[in-house]
């Protein structure tokens, strides 16, 4: 099982009446990628995936598998496997028969069907459950059957549409790890659809962030999280604290920016930022970037903002605070490992300190 394809999408578009579900998508999904389409509900993820599978016909553009156009090839001849959110198992067939179905359809000898089916079941850790019916399995086990049934036919491309969304939180995390393991073992090019940013960040080699039918940014999880190119991406992936401001001073490797609230911030200079006094910037500080200290404590951070704790939520591994800073603006602050620190009370005055490297700058107008 080590066929893996490269997929190229060129100017791909699809309308449903007036609704432009997918607009001008250009992407290359490389061999062995675990590639994720990430975006809010209705942004066109499923439509894009179904066009790659062949279930939906594009109005515009080209789909290439290993350089060969597949636009006119029906789904069953594209050699792709798709796992749906609903699993779509056959209730009257056993686990073994569900998985073996695609092989039997191909008229393979019985011994080959037996061997391949058992191998696929072992890959998803379902040995011993061959005789059960889907109704006698947990959600996670049903999900594994759906995956084994898709993998057994050794497709050159694995398409997964929110396959973990019906599982509870713990199982979802366990299945994520399983999926990554199986995908890496097989080296199969996989395209995954989700609106869950954490899932996208943990699973993917690369992510395409989608909004209203468009791909708005493509990159590794680290690039997408640490260097979002627009407010939209920063806002959708992770939690953000935005400040808009303008450059008041240019230093050798830093810019000093005054925000609308009158807060002065030091920002790392980057080649892609507009330079010059008066240039407008949007700044983003992630909640985990702040250190929190008493207002009187001397701080070594380059940036320091004073504020008052307004709300706190204890989540065990971290505490989430909302701190009101000047101009009445509320900033989200996460304090990890709260066991080691004393908790802050609502109404308490604090200083937030953070490095200039933790300020993500987004040029305005993008
Ligand atoms: N068969 C259809 N007929 C008409 N409109 C459709 C059809 N399928 C999708 N749409 C519309 O196209 C847009 C994109 O839908 P799509 O299912 O691709 O979104 P999605 O990103 O998968 O959303 P979700 O996360 O909710 O599954 C939506 O506005 C949707 O209402
Ligand atoms: Mg969908």
CA 328 to CA 349: how far, in whole Å? 14
Which residue's C-alpha comes closest to atom 30 of ligand 1?
42
Q: Which atom of ligand 1 is found nearest the CA of 43?
A: 21
- CA-CA-CA-CA dihedral for 169, 175, 180, 181, to nearest 10: 140
SS3 (DSSP) at 241? strand
Distance 161 CA to ligand 2 centre (A): 7
Which residue's C-alpha comes closest to atom 14 of ligand 1?
44
Give the model's pLDDT for residue 339. Answer: 75
Which residue's C-alpha comes closest to atom 26 of ligand 1?
41
CA 143 to CA 136: how far, in whole Å? 13
Which residue's C-alpha comes closest to atom 6 of ligand 1?
16
Which residue's C-alpha comes closest to atom 11 of ligand 1?
21
Q: Rounded to whole angstroms, what are the CA distances from 295 to 134, 201, 264, 308, 334?
A: 59, 35, 17, 10, 17
Distance 27 CA to ligand 2 centre (A): 19
CA 366 to CA 360: how far, in whole Å? 14
Cα 295 to the center of its chain, rounded Å: 37
Residue 294 β-bridge partners: 350
Candidates 23, 44, 55: which one to mutate for ligand 1, based on the most atoms within 8 Å of Cβ?
A: 44
Taken in order of first residue, the domains within the chain and their CATH numbers are 7-232 (3.40.50.300), 241-363 (2.40.50.100)
Helix (H) or strand (E) holding 310: strand 303-314
Q: Which atom of ligand 1 is found nearest the CA of 195?
A: 25
Span 79-128, pLDDT tens digits: 999 998 777 899 999 999 999 998 998 889 999 999 999 999 998 889 99
Which chain residues have CB less than 5 Å from ligand 2, an ion?
A: 46
Which residue, among 183, 210, 178, has the nearest Cα to 194 in the 3D structure?
210
Neighbours of 348 (CB within 10 A): 17
Candidates 15, 42, 43, 210: which one to mutate for ligand 1, based on the most atoms within 8 Å of Cβ?
A: 42
- pLDDT beneath 50, residues of the chain: 1, 365-366
Instruction: Assess contact for 334 and 281: CB atoms under 8 A.
Output: no
CA 122 to CA 101: how far, in whole Å? 17
Residue 288 β-bridge partners: none
Instruction: Assess contact for 121 and 128: CB atoms under 8 A.
Output: no
Residue 185 β-bridge partners: none
Helix (H) or strand (E) holding 347: none
Strand order of the β-sheet with 280-285 is: 264-268, 254-259, 241-250, 280-285, 359-363
CA 216 to CA 229: how far, in whole Å? 9
The conformation of residue 302, written as its DSSP 8-state character, comes to S
139-151 vs 110-123: helix crossing angle, rounded to 10: 130
Which residue's C-alpha comes closest to atom 3 of ligand 1?
16
Instruction: Assess contact for 285 and 352: CB atoms under 8 A.
Output: no
Instruction: Say what the pTM is.
Output: 0.89
CA 239 to CA 225: how far, in whole Å? 10
């Amino acid at each position: 099982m080590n066929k893996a394809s490269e997929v190229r999408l060129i100017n791909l578009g699809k309308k449903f009446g007036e609704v432009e579900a997918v607009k001008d998508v250009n992407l290359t999904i490389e061999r062995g990628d675990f590639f994720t389409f990430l975006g809010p509900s209705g942004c066109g993820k499923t439509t894009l995936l179904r066009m790659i599978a062949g279930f939906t016909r594009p109005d515009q553009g080209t789909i290439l598998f290993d350089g060969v156009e597949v636009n006119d090839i029906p789904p069953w001849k594209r050699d792709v496997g798709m796992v749906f959110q609903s699993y779509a198992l056959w209730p009257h067939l056993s686990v073994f028969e569900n998985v073996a179905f695609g092989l039997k359809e191909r008229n393979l000898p019985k011994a080959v069907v037996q061997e391949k089916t058992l191998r696929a079941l072992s890959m998803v850790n379902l040995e011993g459950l061959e005789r059960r019916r889907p109704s006698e399995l947990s959600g996670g086990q049903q999900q594994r059957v759906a995956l084994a049934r898709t993998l057994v036919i050794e497709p050159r491309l694995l398409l997964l549409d929110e396959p973990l969304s019906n599982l509870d939180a713990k199982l979802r995390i366990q299945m994520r790890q399983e999926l990554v393991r199986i995908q890496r073992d097989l080296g199969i090019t996989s395209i995954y659809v989700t609106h869950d940013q954490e899932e996208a960040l943990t699973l993917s080699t690369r992510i395409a962030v989608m909004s209203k039918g468009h791909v708005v940014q493509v990159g590794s999880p680290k690039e997408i999280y640490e260097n979002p190119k627009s407010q939209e991406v920063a806002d959708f992936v992770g939690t953000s604290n935005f400040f808009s401001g303008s450059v008041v001073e240019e230093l050798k490797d830093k810019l000093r920016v005054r925000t609308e609230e009158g807060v002065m911030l030091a920002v790392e200079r980057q080649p892609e930022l507009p330079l010059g006094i008066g240039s407008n910037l949007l700044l983003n500080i992630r909640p985990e970037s702040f250190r929190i200290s008493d207002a009187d404590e001397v701080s070594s951070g380059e940036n320091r903002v004073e504020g008052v704790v307004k709300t706190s939520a204890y989540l065990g591994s971290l505490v989430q605070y909302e701190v009101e800073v000047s101009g009445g603006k509320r900033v989200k602050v996460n304090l990890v490992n709260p066991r080691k620190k004393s908790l802050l009370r609502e109404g308490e005055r604090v200083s937030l300190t953070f490095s200039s490297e933790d300020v993500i700058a987004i040029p305005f107008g993008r």
